[in-house]
A and B are shown apart, each in its own frame.
Chain A
Amino acid sequence: MAGTLIGEGLTIEGELTSDEEIVVQGTVRGTLSSGDAVAVAATGVVEADIQAASLSVAGQVTGNATASERVDLQAGGRLIGDVRSARLTIADGASFKGNVDMEL
C-alpha cells in the first residue's frame, strides 16, 4: 500500500497534502490535495476542496474539485460543488450538484 489511506473512523481536520495517492474511507475536512489520484470510497466523507491529478468519488464530497486529468463520479457517489477537469464521467446512480468546467 503505497499512498495515504484515511481509514474508516478516522477524521482529519485541516490540510492534507501528498504527492502520492490518497484514499479516503474516513472523513477529511479542510483541504485535500495530491499530485496523484484521490479516491473517496463509499464510506468516505470529504468536506474540502480537492485538487488532484484524478478524482474518483464513491462517497460524499462537499467542495470544489479540480483534477488535471479526470473526475469519475461513481454509482452511489455524491458530489456537491464545482468540478474543473478535462474529463468527467458521472455513473448511473450518482448524484451531482454544481458547475462543470471542462476547459482546462
Chain B
Amino acid sequence: MAVKSIISATTLVRGNVRGAGSLEILGRIEGEVRVDGDVTLAEGSAVTGDIDATTITVAGAVAGNLNASDTLLLEAGARVVGDLTAPRIGIADGALVRGKLDTSGGAPERRPRAVATAEAPAPAVRRPARREEPPKARVQPEPPPAPAPARPPARPAPAAATQRAAAASQRSAAKEPPAPSQGARKPPPPVVPALRKGARARKKKSKARG
C-alpha cells in the first residue's frame, strides 16, 4: 500500500486503471479507476468514469460515480456529476455535486441495486392502480347484464359530461386556432373571398324572415 502512483497534469489515460496502492491524479483519465487504496484527484484533474477506492479525495472534476469503501471527501473546487457512495462522505464548502448520496456503508456495491429495486416497484404499483379504475367504468356499462348495476350509471354520467366538455373544448379549440393563425399571417385574403357579393344582404333577409 505504500506504493504510490501519480498521473501528472499533462497525462491523459484512455482506458481502465486498476490495482493496489495510492493514486494521485493531476491529469485526465477517461475510463474506470478501481484501486485498492487511496485516490486523490488534485485541482485541475478530470476523470470521466467511475472511481472505486478505499478513500477518495476530490478537488478536481469527476463525471462518474464515486464509490469509496471508507471515506469520500469533496474539497472546495471539486465538481462531481455522479452518485456518491461511501460510509463517510464529506463535502466542503465550495464543492459542486450533482447526484445521489448514499452513506449507508456496509457493502457499497450492493446498496445502490437495493435502492434501485425499492424505487422501481413503488411507481409500478401506483400506475396500475390508476389504470384499473377507468377500465372498470368503461367496461361495465358496455355489456347490458352487468353484475353491478349501481356503478355504471354513477360513473358514465360524469364520463359523458367530461366527454361533452372535451368535445366542446375540441370544437372551440378547432375554431379558435385558425382565426388567430389567419389573423397573424394574412388577414385580408381569406376574409374577403369568404363573403360573396350579397352575402350580408342574404343574411339580413334570412334573419328578418326568421
Task: Say yes or no for B151: interface residue by CB 8 A criterion.
Answer: no
Contacts of A26 in B (CB 8 A): 5, 19
Partner-B contacts on A (CB < 8 A): 1-20, 22, 25-27, 30
Query: Which residue on chain B has the smallest CB distance to residue A23?
Result: B6
Q: Can you list 11 A-B contacts (CB < 8 A)?
A: A1-B6, A6-B5, A7-B23, A10-B17, A10-B35, A13-B16, A16-B14, A16-B15, A18-B10, A19-B10, A20-B9
How far, in whole Å, are A5 and B7 apart by their CA atoms in the complex? Answer: 6
Partner-A contacts on B (CB < 8 A): 3-23, 27, 31, 35
Not counting A16-B12, A17-B12, A18-B8, a sample of 11 additional A-B residue pairs whose C-beta atoms are within 8 angstroms of each other reads A5-B5, A10-B3, A11-B16, A12-B16, A12-B17, A14-B14, A15-B12, A15-B13, A16-B14, A22-B11, A27-B19
Q: Is the beta-carbon distance between B19 and A14 smaller than 8 angstroms? A: no
Q: Is the beta-carbon distance between A15 and B14 smaller than 8 angstroms? A: yes
* Interface of B, helix, strand, loop or mixed by DSSP: strand
How far, in whole Å, are A17 and B6 apart by their CA atoms in the complex? Answer: 13
Q: Is the beta-carbon distance between B8 and A13 smaller than 8 angstroms? A: no
How far, in whole Å, are A83 and B20 apart by their CA atoms in the complex? Answer: 31
Contacts of B18 in A (CB 8 A): 10-13
How far, in whole Å, are A5 and B13 apart by their CA atoms in the complex? Answer: 12
Query: Which residue on chain A has the smallest CB distance to residue B6?
Result: A5
Contacts of A7 in B (CB 8 A): 3-5, 19, 21-23
Given contacts A2-B8, A4-B8, contact A12 B13 (CB under 8 A): yes
How far, in whole Å, are A92 and B130 apart by their CA atoms in the complex? Answer: 81
Contacts of A3 in B (CB 8 A): 6, 8
Given contacts A9-B20, A10-B3, contact A18 B11 (CB under 8 A): yes
Contacts of A16 in B (CB 8 A): 11-15
Contact with B13, one of A8, A14, A19, A25 (Cβ below 8 angstroms): A14
CB distance from A39 to the nearest CB of B (A): 13
Contacts of B19 in A (CB 8 A): 7, 9-11, 26-27
Q: Is the beta-carbon distance between B3 and A9 smaller than 8 angstroms? A: yes
The 8 nearest A-B residue pairs measured at CB: A14-B15, A10-B19, A7-B5, A18-B11, A19-B10, A15-B14, A7-B3, A9-B20
Contacts of A10 in B (CB 8 A): 3, 5, 17-21, 23, 35
Query: Which residue on chain A has the smallest CB distance to residue B7?
Result: A4
Q: Is the beta-carbon distance between A14 and B5 smaller than 8 angstroms? A: no
Contacts of B35 in A (CB 8 A): 10
Given contacts A13-B16, A14-B16, A14-B31, contact A20 B3 (CB under 8 A): no
Query: Which residue on chain B has the smallest CB distance to residue A3?
Result: B8
Contacts of B9 in A (CB 8 A): 20
